[in-house]
């Protein structure tokens, strides 16, 4: 059972509020605020003096770590109210690392003029401006460019070489992102609702990591397969409607 930080113990080192602030690096005002929010136990008393112990210092370290990870005060309060908060936080941090692990190796890059020329293989004049307009690249200070997605840039250039304008491929990219974002939000909601009941076994951190590890490659392959099937369906339907349907679509 966790010890009560408000109970003075003669065999344990104690210190005052100013020393707690110095040891933790957290301002006195913030420590008092955490106490008022129920995140940090109030100190014991030695006469009129507040008495803090190592338990208070460890709790502050946990609070700071969770705040740095973006948790709200309510979420931190829920984690720290358990009988074994350190274990609970450790488990949550493991889940957090699992949930935030990357699903793609495609990362933004900053490239200089020579690197951009190599990426675009020195194609026709005006291409860099078109890439900027299509948001495949963004100019930065110092004559460099940010490439938000090198993989999408490469795919856009492949489509350009095949006769599909950058402006059109960018519209397709953005359309797919909008529609897929909604589908992914719904999928994540479904997985959260079924966590521990059809997804990730009993939902321990290890089981969740295993389930998500299996889901990553299969989700990518499934998405690609379903997209290909739906493109095939849409084109087949267009062909079945005949050339007049294509002419009418072009006139819209």
Q: How far apart are CA 123 and CA 95, in angstroms?
A: 46
At 148 the pLDDT is 95
Token code pair at residue 113: 């003029």
At 2 the pLDDT is 46
Coil vs helix vs strand at 131 = helix
Q: What pLDDT digit, counting tens, does each position of 104-125 carry?
A: 889 999 999 899 988 888 788 8
At 3 the pLDDT is 47
Q: What pLDDT digit, counting tens, does each position of 154-188 carry?
A: 999 999 999 999 999 999 999 999 999 999 999 99
Which range of 70-79, 110-119, 141-150, 162-171 scores highest in mean pLDDT? It is 162-171
Kindly report the pTM of this predicted structure: 0.65
Q: How far apart are CA 157 and CA 153, in angstroms?
A: 6
Q: How far apart are CA 149 and CA 129, in angstroms?
A: 17
Q: With both helix axes pointing from N to C terminus, report the angle between 85-99 and 54-68 in degrees, rounded to the nearest 10.
A: 20
CA distance to 50, 72, 174, 245, per residue, from 14 (Å): 10, 30, 59, 82
User: The tokens 């020393």 sit on which residue?
Assistant: 19
Which range of 1-15, 128-142, 237-251 scores highest in mean pLDDT? It is 128-142
pLDDT band at 8 (very low <50, low <70, confident <90, very high): very low
Higher pLDDT, 80 or 129: 129
At 71 the pLDDT is 80
Answer for the pair 170, 163: CB distance below 8 angstroms, yes or no. Answer: no
Contacts of 132 (CB under 8 A, 6+ apart): 138, 139, 145
Nearest Cα residue to 181 out of 135, 137, 131, 223: 223
At 11 the pLDDT is 64
Q: Span 17-99: which CATH code?
A: 1.10.1660.10
Count CB atoms within 10 A of the CB of residue 119. Answer: 19
The per-residue DSSP string of 69-118 comes to: TT--HHHHHHHHTSSSHHHHHHHHHHHHHHHTS-S-S---EEE-HHHHHH
Coil vs helix vs strand at 166 = helix
Answer for the pair 60, 23: CB distance below 8 angstroms, yes or no. Answer: no
How do the domains of the chain map onto residue ranges?
Answer: 17-99
Q: Three-state SS string across 211-241, please?
A: HHHHHHHHHHHHHHHHHHHHHHHHHHHHHHH
């Amino acid at each position: 059972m966790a010890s009560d930080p408000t109970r003075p113990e003669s065999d344990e080192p104690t210190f005052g509020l100013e020393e707690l602030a110095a040891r933790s690096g957290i301002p006195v005002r913030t420590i008092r605020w955490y106490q008022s929010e129920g995140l940090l136990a109030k100190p014991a008393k030695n006469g009129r003096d507040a008495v803090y112990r190592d338990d208070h210092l460890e709790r502050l370290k946990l609070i700071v770590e969770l705040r740095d990870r973006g948790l709200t005060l309510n979420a931190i309060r829920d984690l720290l109210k358990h009988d074994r908060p350190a274990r609970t936080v450790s488990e949550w941090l493991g889940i957090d690392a699992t949930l935030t692990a990357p699903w793609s190796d495609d990362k933004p890059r900053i490239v200089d003029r020579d690197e951009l020329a190599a990426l675009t293989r020195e194609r026709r004049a005006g291409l860099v401006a078109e890439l900027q307009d299509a948001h495949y690249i963004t100019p930065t200070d110092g004559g460099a460019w940010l490439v938000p997605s090198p993989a999408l840039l490469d795919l856009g250039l492949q489509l350009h070489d095949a006769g599909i304008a950058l402006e059109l491929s960018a519209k397709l990219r953005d359309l797919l992102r909008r529609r897929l974002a909604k589908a992914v939000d719904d999928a994540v909601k479904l997985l959260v609702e079924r966590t521990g009941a059809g997804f990730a076994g009993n939902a321990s951190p290890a089981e969740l990591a295993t389930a998500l590890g299996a889901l990553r490659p299969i989700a990518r392959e499934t998405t690609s397969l379903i997209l290909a099937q739906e493109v095939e369906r849409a084109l087949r339907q267009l062909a079945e409607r005949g050339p007049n349907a294509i002419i009418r679509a072009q006139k819209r």
